A and B are shown apart, each in its own frame.
Chain A
């Protein structure tokens, strides 16, 4: 990795990609919240036309959200391709460089074919590339370029899954699509972080003890990821609010789920959006989401306490405090989603904030590993590692990225 001045443009570009990805997740959340995911029944075409040429005048009703989501997804794909080339061009050597460029070019070229078969073929190869990237990450001298290539391959898979969700009409694909979106966002944010000056400054800090924080942060982040999967599963039931009140559930701590009760709530539920009927499974899923939310709140409070006790790093303490703030905002948004009878706007904010919570936890985990790595290194406090000083072609900062 180059030093900060050289990285500024790349960092900014990565931040732009991350922000665009967040907007894309928000728009995807809006598509599901509005219940318009199938408003454009064909893919990769839009109402039989090339989607990039679909007349603006016909972006009405649900088409507006679904079509915008597709276009924004294409933009994120393009940004990721540019970013991957940027990283690859800086770090790859020899034939690998041209192989990487070739893959990106092939991907973009096949996207231009705009047939479902081409996309499926592309996604299949992308899956192999993802596996290969994961393998290379363990031993590569320049892992950052493999992270970037992994992001590019992942975005190709993600786009194809989004399309197949429409053409195959499978909600299961939608859940996977929603989950990969969160992981992709995290990956792009990691790339933005490691290209920042801040990342370099962290390495220059005095040694700090972090105790068991790394594992704690990682564990809580994984619980948040689980919560996001639960949320995606709830949203893709298309059953609206399975439990319409909060903090109680149908006036009780745990609601009844017998057939008679389920029939009654379905009979009495009035909503122009005409959601699918609520099932006992939907109620259990909803209640599990609430329980996991409470657990996350408790766990993040624990993180804040542990950060103060086990680490003297103000960075980690502040980071954990901000994480708690985000979780609190998310909890309020979750409650508001219920109180507003699943208003599409509030539900979408809830989705986007959930993604930010995961990213924050993920970045905090990486930072905890980063800080602890500085402790483990033999660098005396205050010594600046020049990132351009590669020893045997190995960038010490870059090595630290995948081995956090």
Chain B
């Protein structure tokens, strides 16, 4: 934003203020030309971040997804679930899908660096004996806060697969303070679970840069502010793309100031 403001000021200086100020002399014309060149150079220098675009698209699901199952909530959790989700039935969320799309897919651009980790924590909450959001992503270095909005005891048990990310299991009292996690290694779908209520899970992907997104229920996504260029973009669903490293569907995407487009089809067969 600062760069943008600077460049506007330079343009203003060259095109508007200086010609009026220096008149028509040979000297002033040369200076005017010089200023033009400076302005172009400044514009060129600041132009590339301005051209960053959003990569948008949709992840479609091909094939019949299995029916979701009822969650075996105990009475106390059943009451808490009703309180937070009136009229909704507690179900598993393996294949979240609307309008032919597939939700909860991690879309990530590979081979790119950039972006400072946000200082604002990534928050997941336990509400009605469910983890919300169920699947999410944070930038590596961003602190993860786990809340307990339930009137029930939970334990927050992380089960990382990546060496260097330690497994932790901590008690959390009803409406207790947030538990903070600060993992140092990038990892896809790091599992957070509650052993008191074995149906409670959340998955948080830790991405080493800022260029990622999680698809909505209709499969749509938008990866923000990607610098122009050609990249490999990958869509990974934690249930479809099982295995040690969660390798998903990949394709190339060209990004310009106008953005880029990448649609995926994930097949269930």
How far apart sit A173 and B157, CA to CA, in the bound complex (Å)?
18
- Contacting chain A: which of B5-13, B54-62, B194-202, B248-256? B194-202
A252-287, CB under 8 A of B: which get 1 and which 0? Answer: 000000010011001110111110010000000000
Closest 5 CB pairs of A and B: A266-B242, A39-B195, A41-B169, A61-B196, A38-B195
Once the chains bind, are A62 and B152 in contact (CB under 8 Å)?
Answer: no
- Contact A60-B71, Cβ < 8 Å, known A39-B196, A41-B169, A263-B243: no
Is A381 at the interface (CB under 8 A from chain B)? Answer: no
Once the chains bind, are B94 and A61 in contact (CB under 8 Å)?
Answer: no
In the complex, which range does the number of interface residues on chain A fall in? Answer: 20 to 34
Is A245 at the interface (CB under 8 A from chain B)? Answer: no
Query: Binding site of A, secondary structure by majority: helix, strand, loop or mixed?
Result: loop
Interface residues in B231-246 (C-beta closer than 8 Å to A):
239-240, 242-243
Chain A positions within 8 Å of B239 at CB level: 266-267
Interface residues in B17-75 (C-beta closer than 8 Å to A):
66-72, 74
Once the chains bind, are A60 and B242 in contact (CB under 8 Å)?
Answer: no
Q: A36-B195, A47-B153, A169-B167 are in contact. List 6 more A-B contacts (CB 8 A).
A: A35-B198, A60-B153, A62-B198, A63-B196, A66-B195, A272-B70
- Quote the shortest CB–CB distance from A258 to chain B (angstroms): 13
Once the chains bind, are B171 and A58 in contact (CB under 8 Å)?
Answer: no
Contact of B92 among A66, A263, A270 (CB under 8 A): A270
Chain B positions within 8 Å of A274 at CB level: 193, 198-199, 201
Binding site for B on A (CB under 8 A): 34-42, 47-48, 58, 60-63, 66, 166, 169, 259, 262-263, 266-268, 270-274, 277
B195-225, CB under 8 A of A: which get 1 and which 0? Answer: 1111101000000000000000000000000
- Contact A267-B72, Cβ < 8 Å, known A38-B155, A47-B153: no
Chain A positions within 8 Å of B243 at CB level: 259, 263, 277
We find that the number of chain B residues with CB closer than 8 angstroms to chain A is 33
Once the chains bind, are B157 and A60 in contact (CB under 8 Å)?
Answer: no
User: Which of B157, B196, B268: most chain A Cβ within 10 A?
Assistant: B196
- Quote the shortest CB–CB distance from A273 to chain B (angstroms): 5
Chain B positions within 8 Å of A40 at CB level: 155, 171
Once the chains bind, are A41 and B199 in contact (CB under 8 Å)?
Answer: no
- Quote the shortest CB–CB distance from A283 to chain B (angstroms): 14
How far apart sit A271 and B69, CA to CA, in the bound complex (Å)?
7
Name B174's closest neighbour in chain A (CB-CB).
A58
Query: Binding site of B, secondary structure by majority: helix, strand, loop or mixed?
Result: loop
- Quote the shortest CB–CB distance from A110 to chain B (angstroms): 25
Once the chains bind, are A62 and B197 in contact (CB under 8 Å)?
Answer: yes
Chain A positions within 8 Å of B193 at CB level: 274
How far apart sit A213 and B72, CA to CA, in the bound complex (Å)?
49
Once the chains bind, are A62 and B195 in contact (CB under 8 Å)?
Answer: yes
A-B contact pairs, 7 of them (CB 8 A): A37-B195, A41-B195, A47-B171, A62-B196, A62-B198, A271-B69, A272-B69
Chain A positions within 8 Å of B66 at CB level: 268, 270
How far apart sit A268 and B198, CA to CA, in the bound complex (Å)?
20
Once the chains bind, are B242 and A267 in contact (CB under 8 Å)?
Answer: yes
Interface residues in B141-155 (C-beta closer than 8 Å to A):
152-153, 155
Is B76 at the interface (CB under 8 A from chain A)? Answer: yes
- Contact A272-B92, Cβ < 8 Å, known A61-B77, A266-B242: yes
User: Which of A259, A266, A267, A268: most chain B Cβ within 10 A?
Assistant: A267
- Quote the shortest CB–CB distance from A262 to chain B (angstroms): 8
Chain A positions within 8 Å of B201 at CB level: 274
Once the chains bind, are B171 and A42 in contact (CB under 8 Å)?
Answer: yes
Once the chains bind, are B92 and A60 in contact (CB under 8 Å)?
Answer: no
How far apart sit A371 and B69, CA to CA, in the bound complex (Å)?
57
- Quote the shortest CB–CB distance from B166 to chain A (angstroms): 9
Is B170 at the interface (CB under 8 A from chain A)? Answer: yes
How far apart sit A267 and B236, CA to CA, in the bound complex (Å)?
13
How far apart sit A66 and B198, CA to CA, in the bound complex (Å)?
13
How far apart sit A169 and B169, CA to CA, in the bound complex (Å)?
8
